[in-house]
């Protein structure tokens, strides 16, 4: 029932090169994210406008349906392209994306009949570590695009959104690393050091299954 959609459409300006392909502990960063999340997914897809660069993953690759519309366009592409009713959308630059937390989000979405389950820790919404109900979210995201709404959460008022508190997130992500992302070479080095220190060197984990 769950598609994991990994967004690889950023411009990586601060990194100076495509961060999805930067090596993280010896493997491309996006490959680490795939390895972490594939065990909970019935399908894994990648949204990218450079499919040739990501062919090595051996996964379905989808260019933007609405080019030039940034993260919201990428979200639409993920929802449009997914084959499963629930879609977990994750950024390619999150080396500690948490399968346990996403599994909890998926179960919660079903249990509470929500359309979106999204973390809301102290820093604000985390729309790129969220789970969406494809059927109800896709037309509303399309509405936002057609009405020149650029914010990734501009359409939230039109669906049932279940936010996760910092405490709820902490129960499934005790290290508080799930939303960490990489934008600079220094942040890459720091994340690698953190992975070694916390024993997160391997991309693999032991998550629970998503519903279905």
End-to-end Cα, the chain, rounded Å = 5
d(CA 97, CA 172): 12
pLDDT tens series, the chain, 212 aa = 999 999 997 655 555 578 999 999 999 999 999 999 999 999 999 999 999 999 999 999 999 998 888 899 999 999 999 999 999 999 999 999 999 999 999 999 999 999 999 999 988 999 999 999 999 999 999 999 999 988 999 999 999 999 999 999 999 999 999 999 999 999 999 999 999 988 777 666 444 444 44
d(CA 132, CA 129): 10
Q: How many residues does the chain have?
A: 212
DSSP letter, residue 66: S
Query: With contact defined as beta carbons under 8 Å apart, do 103 and 148 qualify?
Result: no
Q: What is the pLDDT of residue 175?
A: 92
pTM greater than the 0.85 cutoff: yes
Distances (CA, A) of 124 to 55, 154, 177: 34, 14, 15
CATH number of this structure's domain 2-198: 3.90.550.10
């Amino acid at each position: 029932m769950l598609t994991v959609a990994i967004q690889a459409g950023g411009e990586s300006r601060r990194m100076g090169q495509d961060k999805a392909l930067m090596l993280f502990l010896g493997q491309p960063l996006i490959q680490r994210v795939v390895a972490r999340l594939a065990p909970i997914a019935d399908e894994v897809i990648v949204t990218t406008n450079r499919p040739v660069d990501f062919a090595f993953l051996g996964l379905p690759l989808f260019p933007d349906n609405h080019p030039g519309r940034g993260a919201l366009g990428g979200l639409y592409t993920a929802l449009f392209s997914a084959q499963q009713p629930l879609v977990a959308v994750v950024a390619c630059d999150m080396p500690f994306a948490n399968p346990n937390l996403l599994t909890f989000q998926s179960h919660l979405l079903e249990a509470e009949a929500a359309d979106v389950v999204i973390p809301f820790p102290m820093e604000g919404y985390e729309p790129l570590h969220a789970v969406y109900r494809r059927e109800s979210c896709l037309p509303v995201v399309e509405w936002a695009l057609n009405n020149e709404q650029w914010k990734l959460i501009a359409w939230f008022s039109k669906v049932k959104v279940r936010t996760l508190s910092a405490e709820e997130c902490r129960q499934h992500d005790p290290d508080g690393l799930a939303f960490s992302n990489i934008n600079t070479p220094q942040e890459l080095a720091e994340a690698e050091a953190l992975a070694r220190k916390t024993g997160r060197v391997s991309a693999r984990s032991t998550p629970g299954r998503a519903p279905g």
